[in-house]
Amino acid sequence: MDTTKSGNEQSIDNDVDRRGFLRCMAWAGTGMVWTMSGGVPRSSIAGEEAPKPGELFFVQISDSHIGFNKAANADVTETMRKAIAKINALPTQPAFLLHTGDISQLAKPSEFDTADQVLKETQTRDVFFVPGEHDVATDNGASYLERYNKRVAGSTQPVAGNGWYSFDHSGVHFIGLVNVMNLKAGGLGSLGTDQLEWFEKDVKHLSASTPIVVFAHVPLWTVYPEWGWGTDDGARALGYLKRFGSVTVLNGHIHQTMQKVEGNVAFHTALSTAFPQPRPGTAPAPGPMVVPAGHLSDVLGIREVRYLRHHNHLAIIDRTLSGADPAPIMAEGEAAARAAASSTPQQATVNGQITIANFAFTPKGLTVAAGKTVTWVNHDDTAHRIKSANDQFASSPVLDTRATYAATFAKAGEYPYFCSIHPTMTGKIIVT
């Protein structure tokens, strides 16, 4: 797209590719803004207009991964702190923050404590959370719910569900959803029947002219199912929103900005405050991506969201921490990830051992004699967790980098399993 045209509004109709994503990225100077005008998404260079008094303005941050300390970012607390400083430096302070999950790396109390400390540096009192899969991976969400359900209750309105809730602010109805619990082998993110029924009731009484903001960790639309970037029952939730004139869906999880507009619904995924992940299909696997030294702040960031009354739609402004366009540095990181994958020697096949690398189990099917012990070894810079698809054997603890898990299979049979954090990762033990 030509970003040199005069005037600060340009139609991006021509930038919808075959997947329906909006790829126009006018990251120039201060950030990229999206607004909807008469149902047509328009982009303009951000930064000129400060929010007006009485206009709703909030900030989304995401994927802080406090506790992560691998090559992609050795100090995630510091980069989260920089994101907060960027918010504090805005000329107008947001009414509240939304954190769209993966606050922590491994749901440890110390990680949540650190995140809470950093968030206290904001001038904004209210922070609304939804969990990411990392926040619920170790204890099925118990410690997350204990902390953050209370926080929401103390903020605006009581929590309605098992981590999901809604609230109203400045005439906009906000709905926080949980799509990282009870994931099924081979599946994507999932909302589940209880939450969908609650959701249907929650929006039923609203007038169709009420602007709606839905926020959840995993994208509610199918971004890239090969990497698990989507929600199995997201379409059912969106079906309940068809009659509304203005729906904005804010997600995290994929650590990069993607946009899509479908009818009256605008979808936006956000940057991380911790590390980037490659763009779909540009590297052998998702996961933490290393970028050239000194350029991490080009690929991390915050998102401002404004409700502009005269537009009756929300304006989205994505800002990297450095202010630079993330695309060139993303491309360098992706090229390095491809090169690293092709130069990695094949893992030696050790009898009874399964390698976890690049978000895959190798071998995918392992045949062993009854009574043998099988060992999984995690070579990724991200955590995985082995779970039996049919509850035939005990789940592993969360396996961080280099961690191993052993299970012994006494009886002949087939034992399908998957990663409960990344359910598109599947494998099978065949015991003879």
By the criterion CB under 5 A, which residues form the site for Cu ion? 384, 419, 421-422
Q: What's the closest the beta carbon of residue 399 comes to Cu ion, in angstroms?
A: 8
Q: Helices marked H in 227-386 — which ranges?
A: 234-239, 327-343
Backbone torsions φ then ψ of 35, nearest 5 degrees: -135, 165
Q: Which is nearer to Cu ion, 84 or 185 (CB)?
A: 185
Q: What's the closest the beta carbon of residue 25 comes to Cu ion, in angstroms?
A: 30
d(CA 368, CA 389): 18
Q: What's the closest the beta carbon of residue 384 comes to Cu ion, in angstroms?
A: 3
Those residues with Cβ within 8 angstroms of residue 293's Cβ, 6 or more apart along the chain or in another chain: none
Q: What's the closest the beta carbon of residue 105 comes to Cu ion, in angstroms?
A: 13
Q: Which is nearer to Cu ion, 67 or 94 (CB)?
A: 67
Q: Which is nearer to Cu ion, 291 or 419 (CB)?
A: 419
The amino acid sitting at 62 is S
Q: Which is nearer to Cu ion, 24 or 419 (CB)?
A: 419
Q: Which is nearer to Cu ion, 77 or 138 (CB)?
A: 138
d(CA 146, CA 151): 9
Q: What's the closest the beta carbon of residue 281 comes to Cu ion, in angstroms?
A: 19
Query: What sign does the dihedral 52-53-55-60 (CA atoms) show?
Result: positive
Q: Which is nearer to Cu ion, 126 or 135 (CB)?
A: 135
Q: Which is nearer to Cu ion, 88 or 140 (CB)?
A: 140
Q: 22, 265 in Cβ contact below 8 A?
A: no
What six digits make up the tokens of 127? 């922070």
Q: What's the closest the beta carbon of residue 390 comes to Cu ion, in angstroms?
A: 19
Q: Which is nearer to Cu ion, 95 or 357 (CB)?
A: 357
Q: What's the closest the beta carbon of residue 334 comes to Cu ion, in angstroms?
A: 20
> Cis before residue 363, ω within 30 degrees of 0?
yes
3-state secondary structure of 113: helix
The amino acid sitting at 31 is G
Q: What's the closest the beta carbon of residue 383 comes to Cu ion, in angstroms?
A: 7
State the DSSP H helix or E strand holding residue 200, giving kind and residue range, or none if neither. Answer: helix 193-204
Q: Which is nearer to Cu ion, 37 or 401 (CB)?
A: 401
Strands of the 265-269 sheet, one edge to the other = 165-169, 172-176, 212-216, 247-251, 265-269, 258-262
d(CA 328, CA 349): 38
Q: What's the closest the beta carbon of residue 363 comes to Cu ion, in angstroms?
A: 17
Backbone torsions φ then ψ of 122, nearest 5 degrees: -80, 160
Q: 425, 418 in Cβ contact below 8 A?
A: yes
Residue with tokens 């400045």: 170
